[in-house]
Chains A and B, each alone.
Chain A
Amino acid sequence: MNVVFWILAVITILGGLTAVTLKNTVHCALALTVAFAGLALLFLELDAQFAGFAQILVYIGAVAILVVFAILLTRGSETPSEGVFSRTWFAGLLIAAGVFSVLAWAVLHSTAALPHESNVPAVDVRQIGHALMGRYVLPLEIVALLLTSAMLGAVIVAMHEKGEQK
């Protein structure tokens, strides 16, 4: 493993850790953006340029902005007086630690069925476009439909209720 991978892994994990532990919710959103950027760079390190740039566009460009908007529209940036962690935080932490130990055990003890070093796949955007328009055209259309209906649904859910005085 090269040093770039470890730097990116440390950035991603630190970003994720700060995103779930900081008290101020706006700071959490900024740390989440760092974690998303680290994951996008890990995708680029894995030679998946298209997925990496899609990650940057969708997550850093849209989801992080949406989260910041939601925080500012609610009063989420105020730190509650009774603490930011729920009453059952210890059980949640135990469950997360258990899940991680099981996953890590499975990864470290699995037999290496896959080749350790494969040739770098030469993937250009033309191939991806052909795949999207050929083999994956049905999932693409379904995703288009899903995005449209999700957008309409989000607008309807967040719209003012009728008769509500503002």
Chain B
Amino acid sequence: MTPLAAYLLVAALVFAIGLAGALTRRNAILVLIGIELMLNAANLNLVAFWRYGPHPELLTGMMFAVFSIAVAAAEAAVGLGLVIAIYRHARTTDLDEINRMKG
């Protein structure tokens, strides 16, 4: 197995774990944790392709990963703010009970 394939396999496994967490947990915060894991797995893919790609001196993949980290930080802030707002309204973060968009 080449190093690139090993990194891609690890990233695929982390992505699948994050997807499983996002699809199976009841708590909205845990769903956000799963989404963060999936974003991180994508970043690992980008950096691995940059490192083993033909032109690492162009910094393309790493820059993409750094910008992706910044966007993920914004996503986390807005997502957790939404969870807190929903909790204040519905007094729960259980996604099986939050099934109406109109309060």
Bound pair: A and B? yes
Residue from the list B3, B18, B59 in contact with A1, Cβ < 8 A:
B3
The 4 closest A-B pairs by CB, nearest first: A92-B23, A20-B21, A100-B16, A150-B74
| Minimum CB distance partner of A63 in chain B | B76
A147 to B96, CA, bound (A): 31
Residues in A with CB closer than 8 Å to B16 are: 96-97, 99-100, 103
Q: Cβ of A128 and Cβ of B59 under 8 Å apart?
A: yes
Residues in A with CB closer than 8 Å to B51 are: 46-48, 118, 121
Q: Cβ of A16 and Cβ of B17 under 8 Å apart?
A: yes
Q: Tell me whether A147 and B74 are in contact in the complex, defined as CB-CB below 8 angstroms, given that A86-B95, A114-B53 are known contacts.
A: yes
| Minimum CB distance partner of A154 in chain B | B81
Residues in B with CB closer than 8 Å to A91 are: 23
Q: Which residues of B line the A interface, CB within 8 A? A: 1-10, 12-27, 29-30, 32-34, 36-37, 40, 43-44, 47-54, 56-57, 59, 62-63, 65-67, 69-78, 80-85, 87-88, 93-96
Q: Cβ of A51 and Cβ of B15 under 8 Å apart?
A: no
12 A/B residue pairs, CB under 8 Å, sorted by A: A1-B6, A13-B10, A59-B36, A84-B25, A85-B26, A103-B8, A104-B12, A107-B12, A128-B62, A136-B67, A139-B63, A157-B82
Q: Cβ of B29 and Cβ of A146 under 8 Å apart?
A: no
B interface, by DSSP: helix, strand, loop or mixed?
helix
Q: Cβ of A67 and Cβ of B80 under 8 Å apart?
A: yes
Residues in B with CB closer than 8 Å to A87 are: 96
A127 to B63, CA, bound (A): 11
A121 to B81, CA, bound (A): 40
Q: Cβ of B10 and Cβ of A96 under 8 Å apart?
A: no
Residue from the list B21, B59, B78 in contact with A153, Cβ < 8 A:
B78
A71 to B29, CA, bound (A): 7
| Minimum CB distance partner of A19 in chain B | B33
A121 to B2, CA, bound (A): 18
Q: Cβ of A123 and Cβ of B59 under 8 Å apart?
A: yes
A51 to B93, CA, bound (A): 33
| Minimum CB distance partner of B61 in chain A | A48
Q: Cβ of A158 and Cβ of B17 under 8 Å apart?
A: no
Q: Cβ of A143 and Cβ of B47 under 8 Å apart?
A: no
Q: Cβ of A59 and Cβ of B24 under 8 Å apart?
A: no
The minimal Cβ–Cβ distance linking A78 to chain B, given in whole angstroms, is: 10
Residues in A with CB closer than 8 Å to B65 are: 43, 48, 51
Q: Tell me whether A107 and B9 are in contact in the complex, defined as CB-CB below 8 angstroms, given that A96-B16, A116-B3, A121-B56 are known contacts.
A: yes
